[in-house]
Structure 1
């Protein structure tokens, strides 16, 4: 499955703990990359998702009408049914099969639908065809049918996923085939003709487009609020066409419309197997006059009714399951929320600090849910927050998030840390915010905590964005920045210089920014001198 490359911070090696900021350039700390770097060589971070249990996914797979018909046909052939040399049912059995599937008075279209299910059942091996010793061609149930009928998750999901791979391949193939080209080449007898080569190229291109669309849907579904997972086809196409940070021009709008038309039937095919829920493009839409809005209008936001006419798509949990399997098969790390639940507190925080920013809160919730001793969990999180290496501010940030989720049960453990050289400021701040009777941190500890808090946001935001600027704007500088930064540059924090440089670059008050830059120079000199 094609993955979308993006400029993301490289993960530090496992022995990175203990490295100091002096070992890095500022750009490395911020996670930025050189413009000369090949973007295909940068890491692609796939956001974690939460999936239902295998039992629930298997139940959903068996509820897909096409899969239900496949299983019903496999049971129907027991003990055997006569077929021709190609494994096809005879005319009378085709009608019987359609009637068994619920078509009371099957017409030609009903029989065709039944035979589509029959072909899939044979492709999946849930129906097997062969020849008896007497030379009769027969079909029998496949060996996995009992396990599938019993609802065994491994058997059901194996069957469904194999079907998903077939449908995914056929969807791209159907989109790429030009019947006139194929018919002309067959009639000409040119097996390696230019026309067939074009069809193969078109098939590869359609498959790549579908893979990229599914990847984008996977990510947007992971980020979406519950109930907001449905995407208009126009929005999905725009995400594939328009570069990040740019506005679509007229040419891009045309590409978006073309891409919507390409994706629409392919999503229709995937919907049959339950990978997506799909509302197709209104067939009358493009017959309307351009003045009435035959294409995506960038000047008017889409209403729900518009979105439905332009087509919508939603990746189902089964679809998430399938796309994740394809991503893993292509070598991507596609984690699940809860993958870290069996880690201890320090290991959890190290993993979150490395690349778990996007889904730290769900991961923390899953980790806490796996623990009965809330106070013990709090002590683990506090232990994981210790250290003065380059990632330690982020670990303390996530440690505080976890303590917030634990709540009052964490108070005894946090009280134990009020005099800790690295956790004391955090502990006192956290306790006082909850109304606990504890003295405020002394000035050196309070300043260290300020630097640590800004450093965490600096690292989490890669040194960019409004969030960092908002934190910097809230610094308690008062009206004497020279005095404030005169204290701060002496703070023995591993990122003091970087924090001061960030303040100097982002603070809106010129006087404050100037004093911060001066202090940053002194902090670097102090660190260089040991």
Structure 2
């Protein structure tokens, strides 16, 4: 699955207050706002890298049940069982004419008696072809020279609901359907002619069209994956026009007439492909209402909605799509096959506190709060608090962010964490924040000594600096709240001596953002002294 170069427009479904999880896409956020903290120097970060948002998948048992509920899959399994002990086939591995009707009856596609409709036979043969493609059925030549089919080695495991087997079979089927959907959108026109050069040119055109259709479908699937990851529960359904617009309109622009035409073309191209994938359970798809197509000058065009705001049902006539959990599973597997990091929420919860905090601070695509909650779930509060506090120590580039995340986790634990926090009130790195946390909890405890308070102030500022990704608004709030006295030279005279890896950078930001010129000047002087001290 190729990484996409998507345009992100402003559109009605992307309205929000700028916080992650409000229906916007990853491109609408700064990296830290979307995925969490990044500490240290980000100069090596590849701006062109595709960061895939983390998702939550249901247990394998639920995915297996959903896969087995797909008619094509259940029918393929039923036909594989039906071949026991062996079933005659022709030289191409297809069922005989007599057995085709029998297969349709077996699958409940036709009545037990009477004429078998042609469409029932066609559907039965589709299931047979899939069973063969998935090796649920194996065909070959017998010792007597006849052609026969027998069940494949995975049949019993599939019938028993073995997760690795069922999901593997379903994913293979989804991959086949994905390829067929793109091919169907790029079929050669009939009557290609006998000229060899013309035939080769047409084949090249078909191949080019197939590649374009595959790329379009992959991009659409990845956009749906991202939108589903950030959608509120129950709001994962996407209008087809919105999906198409995300693939056409550059970020921050309004669509012009040409773009509107492209959006319509993409809607029409995507509609049948998404419908094919819906048949395998990747998505829930409501196709474009055929009545919206009108005949104009010999061309079929999609009738545009009126200027009046359509109601929900009217809007749905233009097509909708919703990626299912099975669809998320498939897209994630395809992304990982291409080498992309596509994490699951809670993966970091499997390690200790050190791995948890390190993973959150170093990864570009995690949701910190959810990872912390997943890690805390089921852990004894005091033990969890002690482990987190120990992992928060250090003076490396990411340490301020680890301490900030530790404080977030302690807030979640609340009162049961107090004994563990009381144990570190005199710690030079943790003590200041620990005392502040305890006082917020209502514990009567003295404020930290001046050196510890200053060190904690720098550390807290550094954590925001590292996670704000250039958000000057957040930093200005901190700068405005600094306890600068009437004598800023005295205050910054203390601050520049603080032995913290980010002292100079914090002072530089204060010097850039403080609205009081005299305060800003003293901060810049202090930053120079702090840097000189460490040369």
TM-score bin, normalised by smaller chain: 0.7 to 0.9
Q: 1:75 aligns with which of 81, 86, 90?
A: 81
Question: Does structure 2 retain, via aligned residues, the 8 Å contact 1:172–1:266?
Answer: yes
Instruction: Give TM-score, length-normalised by structure 2.
Output: 0.84
Count of matched residue pairs: 499
Question: Does structure 2 retain, via aligned residues, the 8 Å contact 1:498–1:520?
Answer: no
Aligned partner of 1:339 in structure 2 is 347
State the SS of the aligned residue for 2:321.
strand
Q: 2:91 aligns with which of 71, 85, 88?
A: 85
Choose between structure 1 and 2 for higher RCO, CA contacts under 8 A separated by at least 6 residues.
Answer: 2
Aligned partner of 1:184 in structure 2 is 192
Residues 20-59 of structure 1 correspond to what in structure 2 (within 5 A)? 28=41, 39=47, 42-59=48-65
Question: Does structure 1 retain, via aligned residues, the 8 Å contact 2:503–2:530?
Answer: no
Q: 2:160 aligns with which of 150, 153, 156?
A: 150
Aligned partner of 2:35 in structure 1 is none
Give the distance between the partners of 1:379 and 1:411, measured in 2 at CA. 10
| Deviation string, structure 1 residues 461-511 (Cα, Å, up to 9, x no partner) | 21226444444455555887666555544443322332333344445xx32
State yes or no: 1:273 paired with 2:277: no
Question: Does structure 1 retain, via aligned residues, the 8 Å contact 2:31–2:364?
Answer: no
Aligned partner of 1:392 in structure 2 is 399
Deviates more, 1:495-504 or 1:315-324: 495-504
Q: 1:94 aligns with which of 82, 100, 104?
A: 100
Shift of 1:335: 1.7
Give the distance between the partners of 2:349 and 2:63, measured in 1 at CA. 21
RMSD (CA atoms): 3.1
Question: Does structure 2 retain, via aligned residues, the 8 Å contact 1:71–1:149?
Answer: yes
Question: Does structure 2 retain, via aligned residues, the 8 Å contact 1:463–1:502?
Answer: no
| Deviation string, structure 1 residues 368-414 (Cα, Å, up to 9, x no partner) | 2253x321211111112112222111111111122122222211111
Aligned partner of 2:325 in structure 1 is 317
State the SS of the aligned residue for 2:348.
coil
Residues 255-274 of structure 1 correspond to what in structure 2 (within 5 A)? 255-274=262-281
Instruction: Give TM-score, length-normalised by structure 1.
Output: 0.85
Mark the CA change 1:155 to 1:32 in structure 2 (over 3 Å): closer, same or farther: closer
State the SS of the aligned residue for 2:185.
helix
Give the distance between the partners of 2:71 and 2:55, measured in 1 at CA. 26
Question: Does structure 2 retain, via aligned residues, the 8 Å contact 1:485–1:516?
Answer: no
Shift of 1:165: 0.9
Residues 237-248 of structure 1 correspond to what in structure 2 (within 5 A)? 237-248=244-255
State yes or no: 1:133 paired with 2:143: yes
Mark the CA change 1:257 to 1:482 in structure 2 (over 3 Å): closer, same or farther: farther
Q: 2:183 aligns with which of 155, 169, 173?
A: 173
Give the distance between the partners of 1:282 and 1:116, measured in 2 at CA. 26
Mark the CA change 1:310 to 1:505 in structure 2 (over 3 Å): closer, same or farther: farther
Question: Does structure 1 retain, via aligned residues, the 8 Å contact 2:244–2:266?
Answer: yes
Give the distance between the partners of 1:301 and 1:375, measured in 2 at CA. 55
Give the distance between the partners of 2:124 and 2:507, measured in 1 at CA. 71
Mark the CA change 1:280 to 1:520 in structure 2 (over 3 Å): closer, same or farther: farther
Mark the CA change 1:166 to 1:357 in structure 2 (over 3 Å): closer, same or farther: closer
Give the distance between the partners of 2:143 and 2:353, measured in 1 at CA. 65
| Deviation string, structure 1 residues 282-333 (Cα, Å, up to 9, x no partner) | 22224399xx993478x87775334422222222111111111111111112
| Deviation string, structure 1 residues 129-164 (Cα, Å, up to 9, x no partner) | 222223322222222111111111111111111101
Q: Give the unaligned 5+ runs of structure 1.
A: 11-15, 22-27
Residues 103-502 of structure 1 correspond to what in structure 2 (within 5 A)? 103-105=109-111, 106-180=116-190, 183-185=191-193, 187-188=194-195, 193-287=200-294, 294-295=303-304, 303-355=311-363, 358-369=366-377, 371=379, 373-464=380-471, 466-476=473-483, 485=492, 487-502=494-509
State the SS of the aligned residue for 2:138.
strand
Give the distance between the partners of 1:458 and 1:293, measured in 2 at CA. 49
Aligned partner of 1:25 in structure 2 is none
Question: Does structure 2 retain, via aligned residues, the 8 Å contact 1:353–1:391?
Answer: yes
Mark the CA change 1:467 to 1:94 in structure 2 (over 3 Å): closer, same or farther: farther
